[in-house]
Amino acid sequence: MTWRFLLLLLASFALAGEKPPLEPLLVLPEPRALRTARSVIPEGAQATVFSPAREIDHTPGIEVYDAESFAKLGVSPDTFVKRAEKAADRLLSVVQPELIKAADGRVLYAVYRGERPIMASLVVAPALPALFEDLLGPEVWAVLPDRHSLYLFPAKEEAIAEFIADLAERYQDDAHAASSEIFVLKKGAAPRVVGSFID
């Protein structure tokens, strides 16, 4: 699929007043207390699991597959994650990040946010590190306090330090919190936890 085709597809949804199709292949980052038998633990994670999920047309907009629905898919949790990675790459082509800049024009961080509760699920997109390599560096820190947002920072403590309190508040105040952990993203590697923004 070319970018031009995807833009035309998005334009057709906008003109028709239609919503984009619901995504059936998502990994939902969520607190480890919500772990199911189908959840996968990301490398280094102490407080986060990735659970197989799908987008739904009613509140809360996303749901974890129950045992019966997941069994009908006929795949293992690991295979589901691989398919969800491809879906996340597809979603990257239809959502746009906001670039937050310093007064000197330097990009401080990027954030994906929106009404669809899929933004935190983008953390597994293999294309994500390459998209931000020129702006943020070869390693990117990803923070996903809730389902509706994904923050990307240069992989440096000083880059994230001033935002820790706000991120912690977003995580603690959201009924659908995603993760309190910081993931490192690097081309060719799965997301790996390198720290937490909650004490």
Residues 105 and 88 in one domain: no
C-alpha distance across the termini of the chain, in Å: 44
Residues 77 and 140 in one domain: no
pTM, rounded to two decimals: 0.88
Residues 123 and 72 in one domain: no
Residues 108 and 59 in one domain: no
Helical (H) or strand (E) element with 101 = strand 98-101
- Count of structural domains within the chain: 2
Of 92, 119, 151, which residue constitutes the final position of a domain? 92
User: For residues 11 and 28, which has the higher predicted lDDT (pLDDT)?
Assistant: 28
For the chain, percent of residues with pLDDT exceeding 70: 91
Residue 120: the pLDDT is 97
Between CA 139 and CA 156 the distance in angstroms is: 9
Residue 7 has pLDDT above 60, yes or no: no
Mean pLDDT estimate for the chain: 91
Residues 143 and 119 in one domain: yes
**Token pair for 58:** 């009613």
Average pLDDT of the segment spanning 133-151: 97
How many alpha carbons lie under 13 Å from residue 55 in its C-beta half-sphere?
22
Of 92, 111, 133, which residue constitutes the final position of a domain? 92
**What range defines the domain where residue 107 resides?**
98-196
Residues 88 and 102 in one domain: no
Between CA 27 and CA 65 the distance in angstroms is: 10
Of 35, 68, 92, which residue constitutes the final position of a domain? 92
Distance of CA 16 to the CA centre of its chain: 27
Residues 48 and 125 in one domain: no
Residues 82 and 120 in one domain: no
Residues 187 and 111 in one domain: yes
Residue 19: the pLDDT is 77
Residue 67 has pLDDT above 80, yes or no: yes
Contacts of 108 (CB under 8 A, 6+ apart): 100, 101, 102, 153, 159
Preceding omega of 60 cis (within 30 degrees of 0): yes
Give exposure, 161-186, as e/b (b: 16+ Cβ within 10 Å).
eebbeebbebbeeeeebbbbbbbbbb
Between CA 197 and CA 199 the distance in angstroms is: 7
Contacts of 165 (CB under 8 A, 6+ apart): none
Residues 110 and 185 in one domain: yes
